[in-house]
Structure 1
Amino acid sequence: MTVLKLKFSFQRRVRLAQALWLLSWVAMFSGVITFATGIFLKTELVRREEVMHNNDIHIVPNLLIMVGLASVGINICAGKVCQDSLDASRFPRWKNILIPFFCISFLFTSMLLVAMIMSYALQPSLEESLKVGLKNGIRFYKDTDTPGRCFQKETIDRLQMEFQCCGNTNYRDWFEVQWINNRYLDFTSKEVKDRVRSNVDGRYLLDGVPFSCCNPASPRPCIQYQLLDNSAHFNYEYQSEELNLYNRGCRQALVSYYMSLMNTIGPAVMSVFLIQMTVLLSLRFLQTSMEAVEGQENVEIETEGYILEKGVKETIMELKEKVKNILNQVKVDAAPSQAEPTEEEAGEKEATPAS
């Protein structure tokens, strides 16, 4: 049973070709936007790769970049087909190209849906990646003299100021690591010695945070040290001083930022997918309606266009059989043929004395 069969007069075919030509250009610009979106998302992820443990989330922008470029090529080709469909003498040259073209186009178009689904499905992976990456970033914050970590302090400070966050989960994460380089500690001081001896790892731990955790909206000068000691500061209670430091952890801030990007990109990608599918389905109608004109003296006859010549099940079985035949043919061609012996082998046989 033919799927979605429609009748097309000559005028309807011309209008379909003209409308599809315009739509293909719209879809091409949508592909450019998809490509630009992928580049933007890729750039944002690369900027924060120092605080990410793995790069699984990069598959989303990579897909968008690849599909965006493919969409541009697909729609340029679709526009050319529309132009040639207005001339019945030029359209037949597309006959053997359009079926592979449709298969490739549907493959790339379906990747848009894959990218959109993965952008949401990879949220747990993104959160875990940031959790480990930020933990390591805070741990290596003081290593400004270590090759490969020289800019870790700058990265964390810029991150905390830009996203108005502090620590991995909250500001208390800084209490668990030594974030001050030994170069800036006076080891002749009793206070420093006592703090270093107070833990088995010999680290200088304190209830303080870097300056980048300070909230500029605080009405009082920022309190960075002795944060848990109310008596160390005048008129201070750390339980109620919400404006002094950023309360939000950087992991939560970054996940919210990237997921807001994904939530914006998702509907845009869905719109591009629908536009691209409209182009491909319309192009299929145009192809099948124009094939009926081939060989006819009167090109203005009424023809029928359809999506599938047979039912979905029959089409799948037919494609499966074709693929199976192609694979069998490849196996046959790859098998060693029973060819005649070469001249060298024939000479060896003649030289062998008869028994």
Structure 2
Amino acid sequence: MVVMKMKFPFEKRVKLAQGLWLLSWCATMAGAMTFSLGCFLKTELHRRAELMDNSNIHIVPNTFMIVGLVSMGTNFFASKISQDALDAARFPRWKNFLKPYYAVSCFFTTLMLLAVIMSYVMKGSLESSLKIGLKNGIRFYKDTDTPGRCFQKQNIDRLQMEFQCCGNNDLRDWFDVQWISNRYLDFSSKEVKDYIKSNVDGRYLVHGVPFSCCNPSSPRPCIQHQITNNSAHYNYDYQTEELNIYVRGCREALVNYYMGLMNTIGTGVLSVFAIQTSVLVSLRFLQTAMEAVIGNENIEIETEGYLLEKGVKDTIMEYIDPILKFFLLTNQVEEGTEETKPPATS
């Protein structure tokens, strides 16, 4: 059953070819934009790779980059095809090229849509990755002399100041780790000895946070030590001094930032998907409308174009069958090779 059959007079075919040429170049530029957005997202994720536990989230920008590059190539060829569409002598050279072109274009257009969907549903993976990564980052904050962790303190401080956040979930995460290096502790001091004796595993745990948690909008100098002790500071109430220390956790801040970034990019790529789909549909109508013109002296005749010659299921199977036959033939050859192997001799 023919799907979406339409009549195309000569004037309509001309306009279709001209529109396809313009649309192809728009799609080529959109492919370049998709590639650029993928590069930007990957750069942003790579900037804080030390604070993420796995790299699964990179599948989204990687897919955008691959799809963007392929989109530029396929749409460039679509513009060339549209230029030859009204020349009955030159258009037939594309006949054998169009079927694999549709297969490749449809695959990567579908992949583009999947990448957009992934950009909206990767919140759980991103949150779990940041949860472990930030936890380790806070734990190794003090290890400025340890190879491989020299810049951990710098990264955490920059993160907290840039995103106006503190800790993983909140500022209390700093209470559970020794974030001050032993190198800067006076072990002859009674206060230090008492802290170490009173805490688990002989660690120097304090109810304090690094300077990067301090809110510069606070009307008073930052109170970053003995935060929960109201009596240690004049005119101070721990539960009401919200301006003193950032109360938002860095995991929440980073998840909101990256999800906002991916959702914005996903919306942009979704518009690219619409343009790419329009190119494929227009090219298919133009191809089928030109088939009746090939070999005909009168190129101004009215022709018919359609989207699919058969039903959707039959068309999909038409593309899948050669692939299935190829793998089936490969398996038969391998099995035949194994059967003809001579028996091993002792």
User: Scaled by the length of structure 2, what TM-score is found?
Assistant: 0.94
1:323 shift after superposition: 3.6
1:328 shift after superposition: 4.6
> For structure 1, which segment, 138-147 or 287-296, has the greater mean C-alpha deviation from structure 2 after superposition?
287-296
Aligned positions, number: 339
Q: Partner of 2:295 in structure 1?
A: 295
Letter in 2 for 1:24: S
Describe the SS at the equivalent of 1:7.
strand
The reply to whether residue 3 of structure 1 matches residue 23 of structure 2 is: no
Q: Partner of 2:312 in structure 1?
A: 312
Question: C-alpha distance in 2, partners of 1:43/1:321?
Answer: 41
The reply to whether residue 105 of structure 1 matches residue 97 of structure 2 is: no
Describe the SS at the equivalent of 1:228.
coil
1:86 shift after superposition: 2.2
Describe the SS at the equivalent of 1:154.
helix
Question: C-alpha distance in 2, partners of 1:21/1:115?
Answer: 27
1:313 shift after superposition: 2.7
Question: C-alpha distance in 2, partners of 1:69/1:319?
Answer: 23
Specify every segment of 5 or more residues in structure 1 that has no aligned partner in the other structure, as ranges.
Answer: 337-355
Question: C-alpha distance in 1, partners of 2:230/2:320?
Answer: 75
Q: Partner of 1:83 in structure 2?
A: 83
1:262 shift after superposition: 1.7
| Distance change >3 Å, CA 92–CA 246, structure 1 → 2 | same
Q: Partner of 1:116 in structure 2?
A: 116
Are the aligned partners of 1:57 and 1:119 in contact in 2 as well (CA < 8 Å)? no
Q: Partner of 2:157 in structure 1?
A: 157
Question: C-alpha distance in 2, partners of 1:145/1:168?
Answer: 23
1:299 shift after superposition: 1.4
Aligned residue runs from structure 1 range 166-181, under 5 A? 166-181=166-181
Question: C-alpha distance in 2, partners of 1:263/1:43?
Answer: 16
1:331 shift after superposition: 5.3
Q: Partner of 2:49 in structure 1?
A: 49
Q: Partner of 1:340 in structure 2?
A: none
The reply to whether residue 284 of structure 1 matches residue 284 of structure 2 is: yes
Letter in 1 for 2:7: K
Letter in 2 for 1:31: G
Q: What are the Cα deviations for residues 130-158 of structure 1, in whole angstroms up to 9, with x where unaligned?
A: 01000000000000000000000000000
Letter in 2 for 1:161: M
1:290 shift after superposition: 1.0
Q: Partner of 1:64 in structure 2?
A: 64
1:333 shift after superposition: 6.3
Q: Partner of 2:197 in structure 1?
A: 197
Which is higher, the Rg of structure 1 or of structure 2?
1
Off by >3 Å, runs of 4+ in structure 1 = 316-336
Aligned residue runs from structure 1 range 121-270, under 5 A? 121-270=121-270
| Distance change >3 Å, CA 154–CA 100, structure 1 → 2 | same
1:94 shift after superposition: 0.4
Aligned Cα root-mean-square deviation (Å): 1.8
| Distance change >3 Å, CA 118–CA 211, structure 1 → 2 | same
| Distance change >3 Å, CA 329–CA 134, structure 1 → 2 | closer
Are the aligned partners of 1:20 and 1:282 in contact in 2 as well (CA < 8 Å)? yes
| Distance change >3 Å, CA 85–CA 140, structure 1 → 2 | same
Q: What are the Cα deviations for residues 213-272 of structure 1, in whole angstroms up to 9, with x where unaligned?
A: 000000000001011111111100001000000010000000000111122112111100
Question: C-alpha distance in 2, partners of 1:124/1:83?
Answer: 47
> For structure 1, which segment, 121-130 or 149-158, has the greater mean C-alpha deviation from structure 2 after superposition?
121-130
Letter in 2 for 1:127: E
Are the aligned partners of 2:103 and 2:319 in contact in 1 as well (CA < 8 Å)? no
Describe the SS at the equivalent of 2:7.
strand
Letter in 1 for 2:312: V
Question: C-alpha distance in 1, partners of 2:68/2:95?
Answer: 26
1:315 shift after superposition: 2.4
Question: C-alpha distance in 2, partners of 1:314/1:308?
Answer: 10
Describe the SS at the equivalent of 2:200.
coil
1:49 shift after superposition: 0.6
User: Scaled by the length of structure 1, what TM-score is found?
Assistant: 0.92
Question: C-alpha distance in 2, partners of 1:304/1:81?
Answer: 19
1:316 shift after superposition: 3.3
1:318 shift after superposition: 3.6
| Distance change >3 Å, CA 253–CA 328, structure 1 → 2 | closer
| Percent identity of equivalent pairs | 66
Question: C-alpha distance in 1, partners of 2:114/2:6?
Answer: 31
Are the aligned partners of 1:138 and 1:174 in contact in 2 as well (CA < 8 Å)? yes
1:291 shift after superposition: 1.4
| Distance change >3 Å, CA 265–CA 298, structure 1 → 2 | same
